[in-house]
C-alpha cells in the first residue's frame, strides 16, 4: 500500500537532485538548458529511480 504523499516524495527527491545539478552547470540559455537537462537525466541510474518508487511504496513490474 502506498503511503500518503508518495508521489510528492518521489518528485521532491528527484527534482532536488536535478535542480542541484542544473545549478552546478549554470546554464542560462534555453538551448543550453535543454542540452544540460538531457545530460543530467543520464546521471539518474535505473536503480536510483527504482529506489525512489520503492521507497514510496510502489512495486516494480
Q: Report the number of distinct structural domains present in the chain.
A: 1
51 belongs to a structural domain? yes
Provide the greatest CA pair distance for the chain: 42
Give the pLDDT of residue 7.
Answer: 65
17 belongs to a structural domain? no
Mean pLDDT by 10 residues, the chain (61 residues): 62 83 87 88 87 77 65
Print the domain residue range for 46.
27-61
16 belongs to a structural domain? no
| DSSP annotation string for 31-58 | HHHHHHHHHHHTTS-HHHHHHHHHHTT-
47 belongs to a structural domain? yes
43 belongs to a structural domain? yes
50 belongs to a structural domain? yes
**pTM score, two decimals?**
0.58
The CA distance from 37 to 31, in Å, is: 10
The CA distance from 46 to 43, in Å, is: 9
3 belongs to a structural domain? no
42 belongs to a structural domain? yes
Amino acid at each position: 500500500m502506498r503511503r500518503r504523499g508518495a508521489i510528492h516524495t518521489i518528485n521532491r527527491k528527484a527534482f532536488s537532485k536535478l535542480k542541484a545539478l542544473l545549478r552546478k552547470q549554470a546554464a542560462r540559455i534555453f538551448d543550453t538548458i535543454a542540452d544540460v537537462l538531457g545530460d543530467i537525466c543520464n546521471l539518474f541510474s535505473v536503480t536510483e529511480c527504482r529506489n525512489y518508487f520503492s521507497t514510496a511504496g510502489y512495486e516494480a513490474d
